[in-house]
Amino acid sequence: MRIVIVGDGKVGVTLTQRLSSEGHDLVIIDRNPSVLGKSVTQYDVIGILGNGASLKTLQEAEVGKSDLLIAATSADEVNLLCCITARKLGVKRSIARVRNPEYTEQLALLKEDLGLSMTINPDLAAAMEILNLIHFPAAIKRETFARGKAEIIELKLQKDNILCGRYLRELTHLTKCQVLVCAVERGENLEIPSGDFQLRAGDNIYVTGSFRDLASFVQKLNFLDHRIRNVMLIGGSRIAFYLAKILLSEGYRVKILEIDSQQCEKLAADIPDAQIIHGDGTQMDILAAEEIENTDAFVTLTDLDEVNIVLSMFAKRIGVYKVITKINRMEYTDLAAQMEVESIVSPKNIVCNDIVRYIRALDHTSQGSVLALHRLVREKVEALEFSVTPNTHHLETPLKNLKIKSGVLLACIHRRGRIIIPNGSDVLRQGDSVVVVTTADRIFYNLNDIFE
Amino acid sequence: MNYKMIANLIGRILCVEAVFLLPSAGISLYFREYDTIFPILISVLLMAVIGILLMKPKYKADYYPREGFIAVALAWIVISVFGALPFYISGEIPSFLDSVFETISGFTTTGATILKDVEALSKGLLYWRSFTHWLGGMGVLVFVLAIHPTAKGSGQSLYLLRAESPGPEVDKLVPKTGTSAKILYGLYIGMSALQFLLLALGGLPWFDNLTTVFGTAGTGGFGIYADSIASYSSYEQTIITIFMTLFGVNFTVYYLLITGKPKQALRNEELRLYLLIQVVAAGLITADTYHLYPNLRQAMHHAAFQVSSIMTTTGFATVNFDVWPEFSKWILVLLMFVGASAGSTGGGIKVSRILLMIKSALCERRRQLSPRKVSVVRMDGKLVSDDTLRGIWQYMAFYLIITGISVLVLSLENLGFDTTLASVAACLNNIGPGLGASGPIGSFADFSDLSKVVLCADMLLGRLEIIPFMMLFAPSNWGKH
ipTM metric: 0.77
CB contacts of A41 in chain B (<8 Å) are 65, 155-156, 158-159
Could you read off the pLDDT of A132-148 as tens digits, one per residue?
A: 888 888 888 888 887 77
Residues A248 and A341 in one domain: yes
* pLDDT band at residue B429 under the 50/70/90 scheme: very high
B233 Cβ partners below 8 Å, 6+ apart? B202, B203
Give which of A27, A32, A44 to mutate to test B binding, by max B Cβ within 10 Å: A44
B369-381 confidence digits (pLDDT tens)? 888 888 888 888 8
What pLDDT sits at residue A364?
61
Instruction: Say which of A21, A22, A25 has its CB closest to residue B175.
Output: A25
Handedness of CA B335, B336, B337, B339 (dihedral sign): positive
Q: Which residues of B touch A42 (CB under 8 A)?
A: 154-156
pLDDT for B86: 94
Q: How many domains does chain A have?
A: 3
Show which of A320, A345, A370 is a domain's final residue. Answer: A345
In a domain, A331, yes or no: yes
Helix axes B449-463, B386-410, angle to 10 degrees: 170
Contacts made by residues A32-41, CB under 8 angstroms, sequence distance 24+? A32/A8, A33/B385, A35/A8, A36/A8, A39/A8, A39/A12, A39/A13, A39/B155, A40/B155, A40/B158, A41/B65, A41/B155, A41/B156, A41/B158, A41/B159
Using CA atoms, how far apart are residues A13 and A27, in angstroms rounded to an integer?
12
pLDDT at site A452: 81
pLDDT greater than 70 at residue B481:
no
Q: Where does the pLDDT of residue B151 fall: very low under 50, low under 70, confident under 90, or very high at 90 and above?
A: low
* A220 is a domain residue: no
The residue of chain A with its CA nearest to that of B154 is: A43
Residue B154 confidence (pLDDT) above 70: no
Q: Which residues pair with A43 in a beta bridge?
A: B154
User: So what's the pLDDT on residue B229?
Assistant: 85
Q: How far is residue B28's CA from residue B285's CA, in Å, rounded to a whole number?
A: 42
* Domain assignment of residue A54, given as a range: 2-120
Last residue of a domain, one of A120, A153, A169: A120
pLDDT surpasses 60 at B153: no
Q: Quick check: B212 and B229 in contact, CB under 8 A?
A: yes
Tell me: the pLDDT tens digits for A55-66?
989 998 889 889
Q: How far is A274 from chain B (nearest CA, A)?
A: 46
The verdict on residue A335 lying in a domain is: yes
Q: Please, which pLDDT band fits residue B149 given cuts at 50, 70 and 90?
A: low
CB B263 within 8 A of CB B334: no
Residue pLDDT, tens place only, A73-105 = 989 999 999 998 998 898 888 999 988 888 877
User: Among A64-73, A102-111, B208-217, B279-288, which is the least confidently predicted range?
Assistant: A102-111
Q: What's the whole-number average pLDDT of chain B?
A: 89
Region A383-400: mean pLDDT is: 85
Q: Looking at residues A427-434, what average pLDDT do you find? A: 87
Confidence tier at A294 by pLDDT (50, 70, 90): confident
A363 in the same domain as A339: no
Confidence (pLDDT) at A343: 87
Are A322 and A388 members of one domain? no
Question: Which among B390, B394, B459, B396 has a CA at the least distance from the CA of B424?
Answer: B459
Q: Do A339 and A357 share a domain, yes or no?
A: no
The least confident of A74-78, A112-116, B270-274, B323-327 is A112-116
> Quick check: B153 and A20 CB within 8 A?
yes
User: A158-162, A262-266, B196-200: which range is least confident on average?
Assistant: A158-162
Domain shared by A240 and A266, yes or no = yes
Q: Which band of pLDDT confidence, cut at 50, 70 and 90, is reported for residue B209?
A: very high
Query: What one-letter code names the amino acid at B310?
Result: I
End-to-end Cα spacing for chain B: 8
Q: Poorest-confidence range of A78-92, A180-194, B152-166?
A: B152-166
Residue A362 shares a structural domain with residue A340: no
The span from the CA of A298 to the CA of A285, in Å, is 16
| Of B277 and A182, the one with more pLDDT | B277
Segment B226-238 mean pLDDT? 88
Q: Look at residue A212 and tell me if it is in a domain.
A: no
| Same domain assignment for residues A79 and A104 | yes
Asked whether residue A369 carries a pLDDT value surpassing 60, the answer given is yes
Name the domain boundary from A292, A327, A345: A345
Mapped onto helix, strand or coil, the DSSP state of residue A345 is strand
Task: Test B154 with A43 for CB contact under 8 angstroms.
Answer: yes
My answer on whether A252 and A356 are in the same domain is no
- pLDDT, tens digit (0-9, with 9 covering 90-100), for B78-128: 999 999 999 999 999 999 999 999 999 999 999 888 988 888 899 999 999
Mean pLDDT within B234-260: 92
In a domain, A189, yes or no: no
- Chain B residue numbers touching A23 (CB-CB < 8 A): 152-153
Q: Is B153 in contact with A40 (Cβ distance < 8 A)? A: no
Q: How many CB pairs under 8 A join A and B?
A: 48
pLDDT number for residue B135: 93
Measured between CA atoms, the residue of chain B closest to residue A4 is B175
* A333 in the same domain as A357: no
pLDDT more than 70, % of chain A: 98
Report the amino acid identity of residue B66: R
Cβ neighbours around B373 below 10 Å, total: 8
Clarify whether residues A373 and A415 are in a common domain: yes
Structural domain includes residue A144? no
- A199 domain residue, yes or no: no
Q: Measured between beta carbons, which residues in chain B are less than 8 angstroms from residue A40?
A: 155, 158
Kindly list the residues from chain B whose CB atom is less than 8 angstroms away from the CB atom of residue A25: 174-176, 179
Chain A residues in contact with B390 (beta carbon < 8 A): none
Whichever domain contains A20, its CATH number is: 3.40.50.720
Note whether A252 and A353 are same-domain residues. Answer: no
Q: Please name the helix (run of DSSP H) or strand (run of DSSP E) that holds residue A49, with its range, or none.
A: strand A46-49
What's the CA gap between B481 and B464, in Å, rounded?
26
Which chain B residue has its CA at the smallest distance from A43's CA?
A: B155
Which residues of chain A are at the B interface, by a Cβ-Cβ cutoff of 8 Å?
2, 17, 20-23, 25-27, 33, 39-46
- CA A40, CA B171: separation in Å to the nearest integer? 10
The answer to whether B217 and B189 have CB atoms below 8 angstroms apart is no
**Domain containing A390 — which CATH number?**
3.30.70.1450
Alpha-carbon distance of A285 to A200, in angstroms, equals 39
- Contact (CB, 8 A) for A107 and A119: yes
pLDDT digits (tens, 9 = 90+) for B355-398: 999 999 999 898 888 888 888 888 888 888 888 889 899 999 99
B154 DSSP β-pair partners: A43
Contacts of A16 in chain B (CB under 8 A): none
Query: What pLDDT score was predicted for residue A156?
Result: 83
Residue A159 φ then ψ, to 5°: -60, -40
Rounded average pLDDT over A225-251: 89
The arithmetic mean of pLDDT across residues A178-204, rounded, is: 84
Mutate to test the interface with A, among B172, B179, B382 (most CBs of A within 10 A): B172
- Write down the pLDDT at residue A442: 80
Q: Hey, what amino acid is at A398?
A: P
Question: Do residues A31 and A106 share a domain?
Answer: yes
Under an 8 A CB cutoff, do A40 and B175 touch?
Answer: no
Q: Return the percentage of chain B with pLDDT > 90, whole number.
A: 55
| Model confidence band, residue A33 (pLDDT cutoffs 50, 70, 90) | confident
- For residue A361, is pLDDT > 80? no
Quick: pLDDT tens for B447-463: 999 999 999 999 999 99
- Nearest residue of B to residue A16 by CA position? B153
How are strands ordered across the β-sheet holding A25-30?
A46-49, A25-30, A2-6, A68-71, A93-97, A118-120
B312-354 per-position pLDDT tens digit: 999 898 888 888 999 999 999 999 999 999 989 988 999 999 9
| pLDDT tens digits for range B12-65 | 899 999 999 999 999 999 999 888 899 999 999 999 999 999 988 877 766 677
Domain-embedded: residue A6? yes
